[in-house]
């Protein structure tokens, strides 16, 4: 089959060997496609009202017939592994495009994952009110598109779905391995129906577009429960919607977290065996602190401990644990909630975040009375978490005597082991990492196993400080960061050294290691 360019819009067909040529207007700008594009079959195009029109700047432009089911967009996006720009056309125009597009060959290879029935079987998403597949099929096409979108995000390991409404289009992106990826760009008139259906799922006020709203929706994906936290934010013209995907199974995670090993794991395990005290998990937003907190909490979830949490929001619902959510909108605080739950005779308390002197003071008092406290601090590393608490003007002796360990973490993207490529670190790269010139490191490539991203999930980079007598004395003496770090990481790995080791082992790229170690 020939690969060619159609006049006007520029339609590109696949070659027999799976390669593709580069259109003239892309070659001239140096924007060469990097992924093989296989055209969708003629039968699928006819039955679903969708066809490829052109490829432009590493995205596909597709035509969607006006009465077609938008669910087919997710099938095509998944099959071709490229973001889509969607143009809605009427039936007559679509038929003209169809005839012109497939005039050279009406028997293009069948798209293996593009059958509507099979897609729904493979990525079945049932709302809490739907008990079988037919219930989903009876829903409006916009609902089915949302279900498929959430299922596809879960399949790719996306943490969030971003739905942004511009003046001329609706843009859908997914955050995968910490990076946003364009998935769909649809005509603006899709927006109101999709936004309304999402709000209905989360039991939000569909008529109010002026204030931020938050809600939840529960689904079942392949027999596993899945929660989606939904938040809306009004902007100048429309609303910005974020769908945060929470796998309930993640609440059962143990301490064998990816990347948590060696001295960091040993220090944390030792601290968890203490009868009381405080364990702090430090890191920036999106670094996985909550997952580590829940992993710690599960060590006590044996039916013999009364475990209570205060969170904003509740990340994972666990039946055997009493969980309280801070209602910021109504003026409640962590300090107020913590004071209340301490009257419930807890053994273990998980506090979502220590961000002010009042909360810190109650946490320390609780630890001094025999409670075990798990909490987080927003900071770059473990040492700066300690100094941040000292800056809240707390008594250094009280702080030093109650903390058992401080764990800090960051996330880096994990290289796909199926397609990673070895390279030699050049002078600047080697210098930034502290490696010898020519040290073998790995870079991303991209294959079908990783959806052509080069990465498969993420992995944690950890450091931990054991609160021994020397560290306590340094805190009492004023908490000099350099002296604390020098003692804490004399024999144990810091974040920087842990990141460099992951680069050496080929778990992540040199660029990711530099980002963490600088």
Residues, the chain? 518
Taking residues 395-412, what's their average pLDDT?
95
Cite the residue boundaries of each domain of the chain with CATH code 3.30.450.90: 123-248
Say which residue, 269 or 21, is predicted with more confidence. Answer: 269
Residue with tokens 């320390």: 364
Instruction: Give every CB contact of residue 31 below 8 A, 6+ residues apart in sequence.
Output: 57, 58
Q: Of all residues in the chain, what percent carry a pLDDT higher than 90?
A: 35
* Assigned CATH for 123-248: 3.30.450.90
pLDDT of res. 225: 73
Task: Say how many C-beta atoms besides its own lie within 10 A of residue 297's C-beta.
Answer: 23
Q: Which residues of 211-220 are buried (b: 16+ CB within 10 A; e: fewer)?
A: eebebbbbbe
Residues spanned by CATH 3.30.300.160 within the chain?
1-113
For the chain, the average pLDDT equals 78
pLDDT digits (tens, 9 = 90+) for 188-242: 777 888 888 888 888 888 888 788 888 888 777 766 777 888 999 887 667 889 9
Q: What does the block give as tokens for 289? A: 């602190």
Does residue 125 carry a pLDDT above 60? no
pLDDT level of residue 423 (50, 70, 90 thresholds):
very high
296-305 pLDDT tens trace? 998 998 888 9
Greater model confidence, 155 or 310: 310
Query: Would you state the pLDDT for residue 252?
Result: 59
248 — pLDDT class (breaks 50, 70, 90): low
Q: Would you state the pLDDT for residue 484? A: 94
> CA nearest 142: which of 73, 188, 67, 194?
194
CATH 3.40.50.300 residue window(s) in the chain: 253-412+459-496
Question: Does the bond joining 218 to the residue before it have cis omega, within 30 degrees of 0?
Answer: no
Determine the average pLDDT of the residues in 246-260: 72
Mean pLDDT of 402-426: 94
| pLDDT above 50 (res 511) | yes
Please list, in sequence order, all residues whose beta carbon lies within 8 angstroms of the beta carbon of residue 338, skipping any fewer than 6 positions away.
310, 349, 351, 359, 362, 363, 366
Q: Superfamily assignment of 1-113 in CATH?
A: Type II secretion system, protein E, N-terminal domain (3.30.300.160)
* Sole residue written with tokens 């080069």: 454
Range of lowest pLDDT (29-38, 203-212, 402-411, 444-453): 29-38
Higher per-residue confidence, 102 vs 514: 514
- Nearest C-alpha neighbor of 446 from the set 421, 463, 429: 421
Question: Among 13-27, 85-99, 357-371, 380-394, where is mean pLDDT lowest?
Answer: 13-27
Per DSSP, 202 falls in state T
CATH number for domain 253-412+459-496, candidates 2.30.33.40, 3.40.50.300, 2.30.250.10, 3.50.50.60: 3.40.50.300
User: For residues 36 and 382, what is the distance between their CA atoms, to the nearest angstrom?
Assistant: 45
Residue pair 23/30 in contact by the 8 Å Cβ criterion: no
Q: By C-alpha distance, which of 59, 57, 124, 121 is closest to 85?
A: 59
Bigger pLDDT: 370 vs 319 = 370
pLDDT (0 to 100) of residue 346: 92
């Amino acid at each position: 089959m020939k690969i060619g360019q159609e006049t006007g819009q520029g339609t590109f067909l696949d070659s027999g060997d799976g390669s593709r040529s580069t259109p003239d207007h892309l070659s001239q700008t140096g924007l060469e496609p990097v992924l093989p594009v296989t055209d969708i079959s003629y039968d699928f195009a006819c039955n679903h009202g969708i066809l490829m029109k052109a490829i432009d700047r590493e995205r596909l432009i597709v035509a969607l017939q006006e009465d077609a089911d938008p669910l087919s967009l997710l099938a095509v996006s998944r099959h071709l592994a490229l973001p889509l720009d969607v143009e809605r056309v009427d039936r007559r125009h679509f038929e003209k495009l169809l005839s012109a597009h497939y005039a050279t060959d009406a028997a293009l290879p069948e798209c293996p994952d593009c059958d509507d029935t099979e897609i729904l079987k493979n990525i079945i998403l049932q709302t809490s009110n739907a008990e079988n597949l037919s219930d989903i099929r009876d829903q409006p096409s916009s609902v089915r598109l949302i279900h498929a979108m959430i299922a596809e995000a879960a399949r790719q390991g996306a943490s969030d779905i971003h739905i942004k409404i511009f003046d001329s289009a609706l843009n859908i992106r997914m955050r995968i391995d910490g990076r946003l990826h364009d998935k769909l760009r649809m005509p603006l008139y899709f927006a109101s129906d999709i936004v309304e259906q999402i709000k209905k799922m989360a039991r939000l006020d569909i008529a109010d577009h002026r204030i931020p709203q938050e809600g939840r929706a529960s689904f079942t994906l392949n027999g596993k429960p899945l929660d989606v936290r939904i938040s809306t934010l009004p902007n100048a013209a429309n609303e910005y919607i974020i769908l945060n995907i929470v796998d309930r199974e993640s609440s059962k995670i143990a301490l064998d977290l990816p990347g948590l090993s060696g001295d960091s794991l040993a220090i944390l395990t030792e601290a968890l065996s203490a009868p009381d005290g405080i364990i702090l998990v430090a890191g920036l937003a999106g670094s996985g602190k909550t997952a580590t907190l829940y992993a710690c909490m599960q060590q006590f979830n044996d039916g013999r401990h009364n475990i209570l949490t205060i969170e904003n929001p509740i990340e994972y619902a666990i039946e055997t644990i009493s969980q309280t959510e801070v209602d910021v909108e109504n003026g409640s605080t962590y300090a107020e909630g913590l004071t209340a739950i301490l009257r419930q005779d807890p053994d273990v308390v998980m506090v979502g975040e220590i961000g002010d002197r009042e909360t810190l003071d109650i946490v320390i008092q609780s630890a001094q009375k025999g409670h075990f406290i798990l909490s987080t601090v927003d900071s770059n590393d473990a040492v700066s978490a300690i100094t941040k608490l000292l800056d809240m003007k707390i008594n250094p002796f009280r702080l030093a005597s109650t903390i058992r360990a401080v764990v800090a973490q960051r996330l880096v993207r994990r290289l796909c082991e199926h397609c990673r490529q070895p390279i030699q670190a050049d002078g600047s790269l080697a210098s930034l990492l502290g490696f010898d010139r020519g040290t073998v490191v790995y870079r991303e490539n991209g294959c079908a196993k990783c959806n052509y991203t080069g990465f498969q999930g993420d992995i944690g980079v950890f450091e931990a400080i054991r609160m021994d007598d020397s560290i306590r004395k340094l805190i009492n003496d004023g908490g000099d960061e350099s002296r604390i770090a020098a003692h804490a990481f004399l024999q144990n790995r810091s974040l920087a050294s842990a990141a460099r080791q992951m680069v050496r082992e080929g778990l992540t790229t040199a660029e990711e290691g530099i980002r963490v170690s600088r």
